[in-house]
Structure 1
């Protein structure tokens, strides 16, 4: 089920009441136990890298079917359930806001609980940092990251779910990653959402030459780069150099037919600000994009400036396409127990309890040796059919 991508969701207000949160935890735990028994923890982690399956899981446990909270609340529920039940064979790290920055602190505990080696821990920490940088600096789509969760199995299989917010449009966008994907060439597949203009997409297959140029620029003498950048910066602000009145041909290298795309790169960093970043990068001499992105202080503004130089001076423009595919609506799964905000109907506590008891009974039967996996699946199918008829 190698499917990663982006899901786009509106921002909702409100909170999950305690009684519903308890139902969501019990239901999530029951479903996860059956899935681990049936598929193993590696496959469960892989499922969460699928934005469509993630949304369906969110709907089944009773969270709003279309809100930004379907990411933050669901991963919060999953984190609590997995850490309280490490026997599931996988853990969820990170979360919203400050919790997102705690992933490096949580990795050592994860390694200990899951029995992984220290090399895996170092790899996970690097992966977490690079994926966050890619979706904030290499893909600049006007969504600011505020949520980052790392899923790790007992075999070291990982997935990442992170979310960005666009306050102007009142929308959140979710990014899904799985370990076998490329970091820098079309990492988002089966993308669900709404297309936007003015996107700087340096992880597009069509941005290969731009990525190479940016890496080359980062290893060059920063003073030379700043001279070029300052010239472009002034032109984009409507200023003209004195020499341009004497030798107009001096500007011939700059292809102004690209200027109509410059809105993609705004706001641009000041040359003085950029020089400090480039000096640090020049001293580090990054060998690849991984090395470049993990340099302290290298973020969206620096990458944006280097992309501008790549485009206007060296004629290696990056892609401006938003990596969004056809939207998909897993709304039918919201009919399992209802939703927090009453869509498609309010959560019925008694019905939810019956479903949880049925699932827990299946799990208990499996644990005492009478697995009867096919029978368990049939029971789940009957539950689904019964609730479709009732509601």
Structure 2
């Protein structure tokens, strides 16, 4: 259009569409300072910028809450991992011998690799891949962690040699999980999931920074520690 003077500052006289979520309009003339600051950030120390972003986006609580997680997406991953026809999926994905816990981890990893930006609006969901050393949302599943790393390393090494089967398998895993999400719409129950993961950790030597999980002891200590540091779960006064 002859009236367009800049493609980054008020290029449109109007936009027609369905009203959705609030957006950041960086093409608005009033966003000139913001655009300039974004450019300036590219000249700053990368590590300092990343640290600042973490501080800005972190919540005021440490435990994983239902509002932190897209339960439908997490439910799709769990359904994929524990599907009754898991052997068929493994044959398809060339990941024969991988158990449901490692497949759950790989499904979340595949989403990090192949998912678009909209998939990362609830980063807390990815903490369920193998758990966390602080016991949030549950202790580390060392077997799943080791197997996930092994498959990713193998995928990278074979890709260097021109064999992309495992890389393609991860992409198919992501698409298969998305298919479950859209067609079956399962939803994870966070409390039940955390309880089950903690039980598994107690039965199979789950790990935290304090060492192996001690049944009936580690979870109680960590719950007390986190409530002292961050307040009780559900307390919005912090």
Return the TM-score normalized by structure 1: 0.19
**Structure 1 or 2: more strand by fraction:** 1
Answer with 1 or 2: which has the greater Rg.
1
